[in-house]
């Protein structure tokens, strides 16, 4: 059985500036610029949330060429009621192919990706829509010794717990069990038809804060 651990959480926004401002207002810390994802026409800012956990703010890069495919994290289909939201989370594995194969739900194709000098493998759905509206994780595999937290400054913030809420919570639990997930993530059921969402609980220098999918 593959094994996996929580790697990072993703805030999606209509612009990088809007996403960074949301994080700054909520956590009291400003994420640092990460870089560009040329294959996806996006860019991000990042914030360390622990020894091997981080946050990224993701947005369409207005200066980049539009890709010939849907961008990841549903950035091409923004929710007007949630222009900035906690849209997704990723789990880290040492064998992404085995984890994708073990999942009872399709998580997308495993593709090589890069940002500057950083390279990794990641699962990307063809339509750009994360499984279970982002309550199920994206899978990621980093080459040994190249995790982004190795070069990120200490923010004084720590992710203490991640929660998901979805009408099909049991299916999400089955997926996590199949990929051997080990970590502090809890998924709760919602009534049928209600909108799924994530909530991240973060300890900051000013006390506990929450990042939620609805803003």
For residue 85, what are the domain limits? 4-212
* Lateral strand order in the sheet of 158-166: 185-189, 158-166, 197-204, 207-212
| pTM score, whole prediction | 0.95
Which H helix or E strand runs over 155?
Answer: none
The total domain count for the chain is 1
Could you write out the DSSP letters of every residue in 109-174?
Answer: EEEEEEETTEEEEEEE-TTSPPGGGGTSPEEEEPPTT--GGGSSPP-S-EEEEEEEEETTHHHHHH
Assign 28 to helix, strand or coil: coil
Print pLDDT tens along the chain (215 aa): 689 999 999 999 999 999 999 999 999 999 999 999 999 999 999 999 999 999 999 999 999 999 999 999 999 998 888 899 999 999 999 999 999 999 999 999 999 999 888 999 999 999 999 999 999 999 999 999 999 999 999 999 999 999 999 999 999 999 999 999 999 999 999 999 999 999 999 999 999 999 985 44
- Residue pointed to by tokens 């080459």: 143
| CATH for 113 | 3.10.180.10
């Amino acid at each position: 059985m593959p094994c996996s651990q929580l790697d990072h959480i993703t805030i999606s926004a209509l612009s990088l500036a809007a996403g960074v401002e949301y994080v700054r207002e909520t956590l009291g810390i400003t994420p640092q610029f990460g870089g560009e994802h040329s294959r996806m026409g996006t860019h991000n800012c990042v914030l360390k949330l622990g020894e091997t956990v981080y946050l990224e703010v993701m947005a369409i890069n207005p200066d980049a060429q539009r890709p010939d495919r849907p961008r990841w994290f549903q950035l091409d289909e923004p929710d007007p009621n949630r222009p900035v939201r906690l849209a997704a989370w990723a789990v880290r594995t040492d064998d992404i192919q085995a984890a994708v194969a073990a999942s009872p739900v399709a998580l997308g194709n495993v593709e090589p990706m890069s940002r500057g000098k950083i390279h990794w493998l990641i699962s990307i759905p063809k339509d750009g829509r994360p499984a279970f509206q982002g309550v199920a994780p994206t899978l990621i595999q980093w080459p040994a010794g190249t995790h982004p937290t190795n070069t990120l400054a200490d923010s004084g913030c720590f992710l203490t717990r991640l929660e998901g809420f979805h009408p099909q919570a049991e299916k999400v639990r089955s997926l996590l069990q199949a990929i051997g997930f080990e970590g502090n993530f809890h998924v709760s059921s919602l009534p049928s038809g209600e909108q799924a969402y994530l909530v991240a609980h973060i300890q900051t220098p000013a006390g506990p804060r929450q990042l939620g999918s609805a803003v």
